[in-house]
Chains A and B, each alone.
Chain A
Amino acid sequence: MAERAMTLAEQILSHAAGHPVQAGDLVIVEIDRCMSHDSLTPEVIDALQGTLNTERVYDPSRVAVMIDHVAPAASVATADAQVRVRRWVREQGIPHFYDVGAGVCHQVMIEERLVAPGQIAFGTDSHATAYGAVGAFGTGVGSRDMALTLASGRNWLRVPETVRVQVNGRFRPGVSPKDLSLYLCGLLGLDGADYQAVEFHGLDWLDLDGRETICSMTTELGAKAGMVPPTGPAVADLDVPEWLGVQPGATYAREIVVDLDSLEPQVSVPYSVDNVVPVTDVGEVPVDLVFVGTCTNGRLGDLRAAAEILRGKHIAPHVRLLVIPASHRILTAATADGTLSTLLDAGATVGTPGCGPCIGRHMGVIGAGEVCLSTANRNFRGRMGSPDGRVYLASPETAAASALAGRIVPATTR
């Protein structure tokens, strides 16, 4: 009898469970990789030491700890919490520790090859769905789930149904993967893929940067995992297990077709990520701060795309342009190839690689009445600082063009 065709999520969870599973099944599986960052690790340590009385994590080699959310520390309380995280990492002998300046956790996980195709990875961060860029099942969990996983090496998961997104065509100039993500948010809504996985088809040609953007953004649809099948030049040097790949005939909860040839630049209007309109329909929106960075859009390709638009020009008066590379490696590469000097010449200021002001805890939070155009992933009220500030979300291309214009505009073709 022919075996039932499976989605990528079903394949990965079946492999981990040791028997075929399908959407709806509950499984207890080994978790191949655990990533915990400074914002939630103190509570993870509390649970491990206080309640579980676990002296050692199950397998330190599977664990990565990152200081990225408030990095460098912005207050004594935060600095003290990070002292405790560093001490715990040393005590546990956790080999994969990335301190202030290394970059945003998800970028570092992928860059340092800490997560691989076919693996199951938990992160104490909702955007752990980014690991689907390399064909891994990445998902966000809270501190207690992480603590239990660190103590036992395992946890339970419900096998998710999958939404299949068929992507046709290519991005037009001035349009990029973030526009695809925002378009899907507008189409499906914040719970459009709640408890589900999202699979993107037709993107063999897309680079790793773009895959990370669209996989991380599936979280804004409520998704448990987002994945691009690990085929194409972007993942040619990764070890893809022979059992992992698209299986025709797999059962999908829903299928969506997006035509990139007609996709326009998109912008998400506060205070909800799914409140999306084409940039040309947003009206007259002057901006105070333009922020290019984060695990969504702080990669080298994003910085280069912004630099191309800003080259030889200067940002509008009264606009601040904050660029935060997603990792140290990206900062180094952008320095070496001249991207950084182009951005600086255009009037940008550059911050330490990490999350920056994305979650409103440091390094450029906005005040009451201010408008920020951000390449990040959320624009909920109070997300980036004052509850009376307003955050619009868009691509690096739209961000750069808007920094020049002083108001939200699409990048015009050159």
Chain B
Amino acid sequence: MTLEGRVWKYGDNIDTDAIIPARYLNTSSEAELAAHCMEDWDTSFVANVQPGDIVVAGKNFGCGSSREHAPVALKASGIACVVAETFARIFYRNALNIGLPILECPEAAQATLAGHTLEIDLSAGRIRNVDTGQTYQSTPYPEFMLALIEAGGLVEYTRRKLAEDHG
């Protein structure tokens, strides 16, 4: 699985209220969540985000609430991957569970700037900054996690596995 996208760069402790404020949680509509993603922090995000873009952030990305709406809002906005120095634990599970690839890589997160283009090989855990030529190594996902992401998340992956087992 290889991705290439333009970078949105954010700092440390981007919380779930920043990603999607609770006042918009009265909908499960992915399009509506995407329409308000990041709006309290970066009003240019919704207007300019393109499918395939990548979010790069500092430490503890996604801290706060257990709302799965946060990774859903990013994914529905077109974000293909989040690279951060570290992730908050609930966000980490939620992102993978909804099929949004995320990579922990402090070196890449620190050196990447807004507007750079990253090329990411998820299977290898390799991140290449197209603008600087630098390559970074994150821990590669195990096979099942790649299959889970590819399936679109935990629930879809489980459904497929159950179908295989019973098929």
List residues of A whose CB falls within 8 A of some B CB. Answer: 39-40, 42-43, 46-47, 51-53, 70, 75, 77-78, 81, 123-126, 128, 140-145, 147-148, 151, 190-191, 194-195, 222, 224, 272, 274, 359-361, 365, 378, 380-383, 385, 387
Contact = CB atoms under 8 A, between A and B. Distances in A.
Nearest to A128: B66
B103 interface: no
A126 B23 contact: no
Contacts of A383: 17, 21-22
A144 B15 contact: no
Given A75-B26, A360-B21, A142 B89 contact: no
B22 A142 contact: no
Those 5 A-B pairs whose CB atoms lie nearest each other, nearest first: A142-B68, A191-B60, A142-B94, A387-B40, A359-B22
A43 B60 contact: no
Interface in B52-84: 59-60, 63-69
Contacts of A194: 60, 86, 88-89
Interface of B: 13, 15, 17-18, 21-23, 25-28, 39-41, 59-60, 63-69, 86, 88-90, 93-94, 97-98, 153-156, 158-159, 162
Given A70-B26, A382-B18, A382-B40, A191 B86 contact: yes
A148 B155 contact: yes
Nearest to B14: A380
Contacts of A39: 22, 25, 67
B59 A191 contact: yes
Nearest to B156: A51
A89 B154 CA distance: 23
Given A190-B13, A191-B63, A387-B21, A81 B26 contact: yes
A54 B83 CA distance: 34
Given A125-B66, A142-B68, A142-B97, A381 B18 contact: yes
A92 B8 CA distance: 44
B23 A40 contact: no
Given A128-B66, A387-B40, 5 more contacts: A141-B90, A191-B59, A359-B25, A360-B23, A381-B18
Contacts of A78: 26
Contacts of B39: 387
Contact of B60 (A140, A147, A190): A190
28 contacts: A39-B67, A51-B156, A51-B159, A52-B155, A52-B158, A52-B159, A125-B65, A125-B66, A126-B65, A126-B66, A140-B66, A142-B67, A142-B68, A142-B98, A144-B97, A145-B154, A147-B155, A190-B88, A194-B86, A194-B89, A222-B60, A222-B88, A360-B23, A378-B17, A380-B18, A381-B40, A387-B21, A387-B40
B158 A140 contact: no
Contacts of B60: 190-191, 194, 222
B68 A43 contact: yes
Contacts of B65: 125-126, 359
